[in-house]
Structure 1
Amino acid sequence: MAKLYFYYASMNAGKSSSLLQADFNYRERGMRTMVWTASLDTRSAGLVQSRIGLEAEAHRYTDTTDLWHAIVAAHGEAPLDCVLVDEAQFLTGAQVWQLARLADEAGIPVLCYGLRTDFRGELFPGSAVLLGIADALVELKAVCHCGRKATMNLRVDESGAPVKEGQQTEIGGNDRYLALCRKHFSAALAS
C-alpha cells in the first residue's frame, strides 16, 4: 500500500539531501521517479539542490499546478514508482490532498520534504495539511549552535539581526536563516 510521507525539519537539516538520496535509491534499482520543487524558490530553477553539492532535475509547481493530473498523465506514459516533493511547505492544502490521492488511488508512494514552521514559529499551509493527513511523519534533525536539536528558523537581516515581522515566505539560505533550538530562537527574538 502506497503512503504519503512528510519529512520535516528546520533549515539545514538535510531535507533536500535526504530527498536526493531517496531518489537515487529508487533509480539505482531501475525504478522510475518524478521529482518536484516549488517555482517560488528561484535560487536553482528546475533543480533540487542540497548544500553538500547533490542535485537533480525537477518539475516545478506553483500554487495553481494540478499535481494529480500532471503526475497521473506521466504515470500513464510510463509507470512511476515514487513521487518526491521538495519545499513541500509551499504546497497548497488542495495540492497536499492531490498527493494523498496519488498514494490512495494511483498507488504511488509520495515523499514530501519541507519546513514545518516559518520564522515566526507558525505552520506553513502545506505543512499544516501534511502534518494532519500524512501516513508517516518523520522529523529530520538539525543542530543549534548550543548542540541541542534545532526546531526553529530565525530570519536575519543583512547585518545578522533577527527579523521579527514580514512576509511568511522570503527565499534564502544561510545568509537569511539560522536553525536554532526554541530556547535560543526565543532569546534572539527577545533581544
Structure 2
Amino acid sequence: MAKLYFRYGAMNCGKSTAIMQVGYNYYERGMNAVIMKPMVDTKGDNKVVSRLGIDKPVDFLVGNDDDVFEMIDLYQKENKKIDCLLVDEVQFFRSYHIDQMLKVAVTLNIPVICYGLRTDFLMNGFEGSQRLLLIAHTIEELKTICTCGRKATLNGRKVNGKYVFEGEQVAIDGENHVEYQSLCTSCYFEYRGE
C-alpha cells in the first residue's frame, strides 16, 4: 500500500525545490510523477516556483469544489499511470481534499507526497495541514534557520518591510507588498513585542 506523506517546514526551507527534485528523480527513472497545487496559490500562476529561480508547470490546479481522487482516477484512465502525486502548498487545501489524497494513496496505490506550512504567521494551523497531522502515514520536518542562526519553526509576515501580526490567514508571498521570513520562536516573540 502506498502512503500519504506530509513534509512541512517554515518558509524558505526548500519545499518547492524539493518537489521539483523528487519529480525529476521519478522522471529520470522513466516514471510519471505529477504535481498538484491549490488555485488559491496564485504565486507563479500554474507553476511551482522556487526561490532558487526555477519553476515547473503543475499538472493539476485544484479548486474548492474539485475532487482530488476523481481528478487522479480520471487522469490515469485517460492518460497514463501515475507513479507519484506531489502536492505543493498543501496547507491551502480543505480537509476533504486531504481525505481524498489519502484515498488516492490507499485505493489507487499511488504515493502522495505533500509539502507545505504547518502554521500561519499567527501560529495558527492551516486546515489542510491540521488534517494531514492527523491522518498522514508519515510526517517529516524540513529544517531551515532564522536570521539569528537558530532553527526556524515559525513564519513572520512582513507588509512593506514591517512585521505584522494581524490580517487574513492567506496572503500570497510577493503580492501586495507581502513577504515572509522564517523565524525561531525567540525572534518571533521579539518582533511581536513580547
2:186 aligned partner: 183
CA RMSD of aligned residues (A): 1.3
Alignment pair present for 1:82 and 2:84 = yes
Contact 2:43 2:49 in 1 (8 A): no
Range that drifts further, 36-45 or 129-138: 36-45
2:40 aligned partner: 40
Range that drifts further, 14-23 or 169-178: 169-178
2:11 aligned partner: 11
1:92 aligned partner: 94
Give the C-alpha shift of residue 175 in structure 1. 5.1
Give the C-alpha shift of residue 64 in structure 1. 1.6
Q: Distance in 1 between matches of 2:53 and 2:30?
A: 23
The alignment of Structure 1 onto Structure 2 pairs a total of residues equal to 190
2:27 aligned partner: 27
1:141 aligned partner: 143
Q: Distance in 2 between matches of 1:139 and 1:74?
A: 30
Counterpart code for 1:91 = F
Residue pairs, 1:105-144, within 5 angstroms: 105-144=107-146
1:151 aligned partner: 153
Residue pairs, 1:61-80, within 5 angstroms: 61-77=62-78, 78-80=80-82
Range that drifts further, 149-158 or 50-59: 50-59
Structure 1 unaligned blocks of 5 or more: none
TM-score normalised to the size of structure 1?
0.96
Contact 2:172 2:178 in 1 (8 A): no
Give the C-alpha shift of residue 164 in structure 1. 1.1
Give the C-alpha shift of residue 54 in structure 1. 2.3
Range that drifts further, 175-184 or 105-114: 175-184
Task: Give CA deviations for 1:127-181 in whole Å, capped at 9, x if unaligned.
Answer: 00011110011100111011111111111120x2221111000001595211100
Q: Distance in 2 between matches of 1:90 and 1:56?
A: 19
Residue pairs, 1:163-178, within 5 angstroms: 163-173=164-174, 176-178=179-181
Q: Distance in 1 between matches of 2:45 and 2:193?
A: 36
Q: Distance in 2 between matches of 1:141 and 1:52?
A: 17
Counterpart code for 2:116 = G
Q: Distance in 1 between matches of 2:170 and 2:43?
A: 14
Counterpart code for 1:37 = K
